[in-house]
A and B are shown apart, each in its own frame.
Chain A
Amino acid sequence: MITSNRMQESGVWTAARSRRRMDLTRIVSFILLVIITLIMLMPLAFMVTTSFKSQRETMQYPPTLFPDSLQFSNYTEIFSRLQFGTMYQNSLMIAVITVLATLLSSSLVAYGFARFRGKGRNLMFMLLLSTMMLPYPAIMIPQFVLFSKLGWVDTFLPLIVPAFFGSAYNIFLLRQFFANLPEELFDAGRMDGCTEIGMYWKIALPLSGAAMATIAIFSFIYSWNDLLTPVLYLNSADKFTLPVGMASLTSSKFRVAPWHLLMVASVLALLPIVVLFILAQKRFVEGIVLTGIK
Chain B
Amino acid sequence: MVNIKRKWYQKTLTVLSTLLATTVMLSGCGGSGSSAGADGDAVTITYYTIDSPDRTFVEQLIPDFEKQHPNIKVKVATAPYEQFDSKLQTMIAGGNAPDITSHFGYGGFAEYYNKGMLLDMTDLLKESGFQADKYKIPKNLMDIYQVDGHTYGIPFSSYVTLLLYNKDLFDAAGVAYPPSDYNDKSWTFDKMVEDAKKLTVISDDPNKQQYGLQFGWGELDNRPFYFGAKMYSDDTWTNGGVPSESYFDSPESIAAYKKIFGLVFDDKVSPPPEWSASVAGQGGDPFVTGKVAMSVGGSWNLSGANDFGFNVGVAAVPAGGNDKVRSTLFVDPLFILKDSKHPKEALAWIEYLLQTDIQKQSIELSGGTPPVNQDAAEEYYSHFQSIDPKDLRNVYEGAYQYGYESFNHLIVNYSQINDMMINEMQPLQNGTAQVEDVMPKVQQKMEEILARSKK
Residues of chain A having any CB pair with chain B under 8 Å: 56, 58-59, 61-62, 93, 97, 100-101, 104, 140-141, 144-145, 148-149, 151-157, 160-161, 164, 193-195, 197-198, 201-202, 227-228, 231-232, 235-237, 239-240, 244-245, 247-248, 250-257, 259
Q: Are B4 and A193 in contact (CB under 8 A)?
A: yes
Q: Are A231 and B79 in contact (CB under 8 A)?
A: yes
Residue of A nearest to B281 (CB): A259
Measured between C-beta atoms, what is the minimum distance from B97 to chain A in Å? 10
Q: Are A252 and B81 in contact (CB under 8 A)?
A: yes
Q: Are B12 and A201 in contact (CB under 8 A)?
A: yes
- Choose one: B9, B56, B81, B87; the contact of A251 (CB below 8 Å): B81
Q: Are B54 and A148 in contact (CB under 8 A)?
A: no
Measured between C-beta atoms, what is the minimum distance from B405 to chain A in Å? 18
A151: chain B residues at CB < 8 Å are 31, 34
Q: Does B30 contact A (CB under 8 A)?
A: yes
Residue of A nearest to B9 (CB): A197
Q: Are A148 and B284 in contact (CB under 8 A)?
A: no
Distance, CA A155 to CA B53, complexed state (A)? 23
A62: chain B residues at CB < 8 Å are 206
A252: chain B residues at CB < 8 Å are 50, 52-54, 81
Residue of B nearest to A243 (CB): B80
Number of residue pairs A-B, CB distance < 8 angstroms = 154
Given A228-B83, A239-B30: A153 and B11 interface contact (C-beta under 8 Å): no
B12: chain A residues at CB < 8 Å are 197, 201
Q: Does B149 contact A (CB under 8 A)?
A: no
- Choose one: A104, A141, A202, A227; the contact of B19 (CB below 8 Å): A104
Q: Are A248 and B283 in contact (CB under 8 A)?
A: no
Distance, CA A157 to CA B26, complexed state (A)? 8
Q: Does B444 contact A (CB under 8 A)?
A: no
Q: Are A144 and B93 in contact (CB under 8 A)?
A: yes
Q: Does B75 contact A (CB under 8 A)?
A: yes
Distance, CA A83 to CA B234, complexed state (A)? 49
A237: chain B residues at CB < 8 Å are 51, 56, 59, 76, 78
A93: chain B residues at CB < 8 Å are 26
**Would you list which residues of chain B between 17 and 65 have a CB under 8 Å from chain A?**
19-20, 22-23, 26-27, 29-31, 34, 46, 50-54, 56, 59
Distance, CA A219 to CA B450, complexed state (A)? 44
Q: Are B284 and A198 in contact (CB under 8 A)?
A: no
Q: Are A148 and B95 in contact (CB under 8 A)?
A: yes
Can you name 27 A-B residue pairings with CB atoms under 8 Å?
Answer: A61-B207, A62-B206, A97-B23, A155-B29, A156-B23, A156-B26, A157-B27, A161-B23, A194-B8, A197-B9, A231-B80, A235-B75, A236-B30, A245-B51, A248-B50, A248-B52, A248-B78, A248-B80, A251-B52, A251-B80, A251-B81, A252-B50, A253-B50, A253-B52, A254-B54, A254-B303, A259-B281
Main secondary structure of the interface of B (DSSP, over half): helix
Measured between C-beta atoms, what is the minimum distance from B14 to chain A in Å? 12
Residues of chain B having any CB pair with chain A under 8 Å: 1, 4-5, 8-9, 11-12, 15-16, 19-20, 22-23, 26-27, 29-31, 34, 46, 50-54, 56, 59, 75-83, 86-87, 90-91, 93-96, 206-207, 278-281, 283-285, 288-289, 300, 303-304, 309
Q: Are A257 and B27 in contact (CB under 8 A)?
A: no
Measured between C-beta atoms, what is the minimum distance from A145 to chain B in Å? 5
A97: chain B residues at CB < 8 Å are 19, 22-23, 26
Given A153-B96, A197-B9, A252-B52: A59 and B289 interface contact (C-beta under 8 Å): yes
Q: Are A254 and B300 in contact (CB under 8 A)?
A: yes
Distance, CA A153 to CA B16, complexed state (A)? 24
Residue of B nearest to A201 (CB): B8
Q: Are B285 and A231 in contact (CB under 8 A)?
A: no
Given A100-B19, A198-B4: A256 and B34 interface contact (C-beta under 8 Å): no
Q: Are A56 and B51 in contact (CB under 8 A)?
A: no
